[in-house]
Chain A
Amino acid sequence: MHHGLLLNPRWAIGLSLEIAVALLAIRRRLFSELPIFTLYLSLVALVQIGVWGVFLTSGLNSRASFWTYWDTQGILVFFRAMVIGELARRILSPYEGVWALARMVLSTVAVILLIVAGVTAFQNQHTLITFISSLERGLEFAVIGTLGLTILFSRYYEIEIERPVMLIAIGLIVYSSIAVGNSHVLNNWLGSYFNIWAEIRNDSFVIALLFWLAAVWKPLAARVRPTLLEPAVYGQMVPAMNFQLRQLNGRLSEMLR
């Protein structure tokens, strides 16, 4: 039996932190506000315990360990995507008009990024590792793109993001960004880089967990819905503003001639 990385104290710290964050989230009744994220946190801890069990019984370099690890990663990536949907909904859905627009844009961007991820992975089938890491890199990139766009939407329309929700988003972006860079290096250096890759992956998840720990430290209050305007206000104002803006740009262009 090869314990290798399992003896690394940072892995043990990571696992302890995963369990602590999941338990704290449940204790703070986060499931009433963010059920998918709470489920994801619980799943992360359970999956990690399960994967460790397989590693300890089958050894790190066994086929069973390999497939257990990557299968569970696939499940976790899927749940991370669901978490992003949940966060986008949490941030934008009280603003009905913006939410309808954002839903369409975010879905389109997510689908495009997923297709790109699939095509890139398909073209990188030299070895199983390059295929999986390309696919993972594409999926993480889709996570960053979709979440980044959600934050841009909220910034543009001046929609406030609650601090815990922002911390969760930052944690996801940090982890996914490091994963994208890490997979890129793994694709190029493969075996010689594998141990460093595994450590960076673990440490980046610990960083994400620290953000999530801060997020679940206090209970998350229910989202207050804003009082919306009459639909006629938008209908009267925005087309007129766009018209004026077009004219203004025309005048500015004239000045430059």
Chain B
Amino acid sequence: MISTIIIVAFSLLLLVGLSAALLVSPLRAEADFRAMDPSKMEGLAVSHFVNCKQVSRALAEEDYALVRTRLPRQSSTRMRHERRALVRNYVVQLGRDFARIDRLARIVASLSPSVNRTQEFERLRLELQFRCLYRLVLVRLSVSGEISAESLARLANLVGAFARRVEAAMTWKETPPLGDQLLGA
């Protein structure tokens, strides 16, 4: 009985620890720009989503099916691995773009004279959700290695739309550019 309790308690502890590590530890995509000066944030173009067409092309199922019938087995396996690496790298770069915009959003919130409680809590919740989902997608890619080009394109379009909104806000016509204000802060 005692050993069962210990095993259950240990499993729970492990689960809680892993969940906490998952939520608290920064995304790998965030690591590079964590120490970056906030005043230079808008100089960092959110660019990876624009390469989506090329990535989608590389992932086109019909091309792959054609190549697979013509290439030797070894070569088609290598191609499959390379496609998987390409998708993984692309998702990581999208995460990086997202994380960069997210950081900017936090700075904007901190420099705003009033913030909306509901919006802030919602963003926090969504961020945590994003961190979990993003990691799960990467795990899925590692395990199965498959993700459709269509899904990837939709994801990229979202990040792109997100970036355009931020860019529009940064050049808000009634205020000095955000960069100037951040430099003045």
Contacts and interface: CB of A to CB of B under 8 A. Distances in A.
Interface in A49-92: none
Given A233-B108, A241-B166, A248 B159 contact: yes
B165 interface: yes
B22 interface: no
Q: Counting chain B CB atoms within 10 Å of each CB, which of A101, A226, A251 scores highest?
A: A251
A240 B165 contact: yes
Contact of B112 (A156, A158, A231, A240): A231
Contacts of B147: 255
Contact of A254 (B38, B134, B151): B151
Contact of A241 (B105, B110, B124, B181): B105
Main secondary structure of the interface of A (DSSP, over half): helix
B112 A229 contact: yes
B140 A234 contact: no
B60 interface: no
Interface residues of B, number: 51
B172 A230 contact: yes
Given A232-B174, A238-B119, A252-B134, A245 B109 contact: no
B122 to A, nearest CB: 5
A233 B178 contact: yes
B129 interface: yes
Contacts of A231: 112-114
B99 to A, nearest CB: 12
B127 interface: yes
B158 A228 contact: no
B151 A228 contact: no
A236 interface: yes
Given A232-B174, A249-B129, A255-B140, A98 B110 contact: yes
Contacts of A8: none
B30 to A, nearest CB: 12
Given A158-B38, A252-B137, A228 B155 contact: no
A127 interface: no
A221 interface: no
Nearest to B152: A255
A100 B133 contact: no
A157 interface: yes
A158 B37 CA distance: 11
A89 B114 CA distance: 16
Nearest to B141: A255
Interface residues of A, number: 39
Contacts of B174: 230, 232
Contacts, number: 144
A157 B126 contact: no
B155 A238 contact: no
B137 A236 contact: no
Contacts of A156: 106, 124
Contact of A229 (B111, B122, B162, B165): B111
Given A245-B126, A245-B130, A236 B169 contact: yes
B61 interface: no
A158 B107 contact: yes
Contacts of B101: 241
A95 B140 contact: no
B57 interface: no
B70 interface: no
B88 to A, nearest CB: 13
Nearest to A246: B126
Given A251-B155, A252-B137, A256-B140, A245 B123 contact: yes
Given A231-B114, A248-B159, A256-B140, A237 B166 contact: yes
9 A-B pairs closest in CB distance: A252-B133, A97-B115, A234-B112, A226-B185, A157-B110, A237-B169, A244-B162, A245-B126, A227-B184
Interface of B: 38, 98, 101-103, 105-117, 119-120, 122-124, 126-127, 129-130, 133-134, 136-137, 140, 147, 151, 154-155, 158-159, 161-162, 165-166, 168-169, 172, 174-175, 178, 181, 184-185
10 contacts: A96-B113, A228-B112, A236-B169, A237-B165, A238-B119, A241-B162, A245-B123, A251-B155, A251-B158, A256-B136
